[in-house]
Structure 1
Amino acid sequence: MLEYKSVKDSQVSITELMLPSHSNFGGKVHGGHILNLMDQIAFACASKHSQRYCVTASVNRVDFLNPIDVGELVTLRASINYTGKTSMVVGVRVDSENITTGEKRHCNSSYFTMVAKDEQGKSVPVPGLLVTDKQGIRRFARSKYRKLEARERDTKFESYTFNAEQYLKELKSENCKVELKF
């Protein structure tokens, strides 16, 4: 296995026609179907990079920017943005294309943290990422800081260290009513 691999070594893309069976009650493609496709391509990209079976550890922020209609082509592109010791952040972009008008829309971007596993299910080291341009530096740094911010956010709100009194004032301007019972 190589010590470092470039982004291009493991990039993958798929294009799929959206069928009526993919639609929700509103007649648009169901978000769950798109999430399933995103998870599949993140798996393919991470597995190609690590040459291992990979599992999804987390998904960072999923924003549905534009609806997708039945009959449109959906293209998903995935590439490695960050490598840790055993994990990789896979950036996934989703675009739709109306096949009759040619109109293309960006529908979603998200970041999947994938972990490489061995035959016994234990996490194993992955090749590092060979960064070759400024865009690669930006993506790697953004993923690193997103990971650090998530860890900070998680520890800040741990139940055994959380101080509710610090946030009572903030909640007064929110759509909630606080009735503490002791």
Structure 2
Amino acid sequence: METKACIDSLTVKNSHVLPPDTNSHGTLFGGKLMAYIDDVAAISATRHCRKPVVTASIDSIDFLAPVFEGDTICLVSYVTWTHKTSMEVFVKAITENLLTGERKVCTTAFVSMVAVDENNRPTPVPPVKPESDEEKLLHSGAPARHEQRKERSKESKQLAKEFGTDFPWK
């Protein structure tokens, strides 16, 4: 498979934060931001491999700055690293007050996406080549993040097995 540059998967999404997008504090619902993150990550991953993709995991999301009603939210994403069938996608979300021009990074996240074939089975993805200093930095830390995700997944599977499908009050 032909190696692709990180920039080839670049995705940018801008949205105006309107009243239905906000909570009782006048800030963007965290779940809405998480949906935006998943959306742009899926677009970047699909651009990279040109195959359908599914979300395997989203690393922790820390809300660093509030996104207020009337602000815009800009999400930027691209594939930073690939394994056999999976891709790590970096997402940065920036809020902007349109009246003052003040901008802040409100969150960053790493999303793991897996390419699937027509039978929804994992399928190989092309390698990615970082070019900029930022891309190289993210790429160099990706194998360690991949190992952390594998460990976290094992723990999640163990908890699912231990707790099962019964409700706790039965």
Q: Say whether the fold is shared (TM-score over 0.5).
A: yes
Q: Distance in 2 between matches of 1:4 and 1:140?
A: 14
Aligned to 1:95: 94
Overall identity of the aligned pairs, in %: 30
Q: What does residue 122 of structure 1 align with?
A: 121
Corresponding position: 1:31 with 2:27: no
Residue 9 (1) aligns with residue 17 (2) = no
Aligned to 1:75: 74
Q: CA deviation at 1:27?
A: 1.6
1:57 maps to: 56
TM-score by length of 1: 0.81
Q: Distance in 2 between matches of 1:151 and 1:27?
A: 37
Q: 1:176 maps to which residue?
A: none
Q: Deviations over 1:81-108 (max 9, x none)?
A: 1101100000000001001000001100
TM-aligned CA distance change 1:155 to 1:42, over 3 Å: closer
Amino acid at match of 2:117: D
2:139 aligns with 140
Matched letter for residue 43 of structure 1: A
Query: Cα deviations across residues 35-54 of structure 1 (Å, max 9, x unaligned)?
Result: 00110000000000010111
Moved over 4 A (4+): 152-159
Structure 2 match to 1:47: 46
- 8 Å CA contact 2:57–2:111 kept in 1: the answer is yes
Decide which structure has the larger Cα Rg and report it.
1
Deviation of the 1:120 alpha carbon = 1.1
Distance 1:157 1:79, change over 3 A: closer
Query: Could you tell me which amino acid in structure 1 is paired with residue 78 of structure 2?
Result: S
The CA deviation at 1:5 is: 0.3
User: Letter of the aligned partner of 2:121 in structure 1?
Assistant: K
Separation (CA, whole Å) in 1 of partners of 2:76 and 2:58: 16
Structure 1 gaps, min length 5:
160-182
Aligned to 2:163: none
What is the Cα deviation at residue 153 of structure 1?
5.5
Aligned residues between the structures: 159
What is the aligned partner in structure 2 of residue 170 from structure 1? none
Distance change >3 Å, CA 121–CA 154, structure 1 → 2: closer
What is the CA deviation profile of residues 143-180 of structure 1, one whole-angstrom value per residue up to 9, with x for unaligned ones? 21111133346658986xxxxxxxxxxxxxxxxxxxxx
- Cα distance change of structure 1 residues 30 and 8 upon mapping to structure 2, 3 Å threshold: same
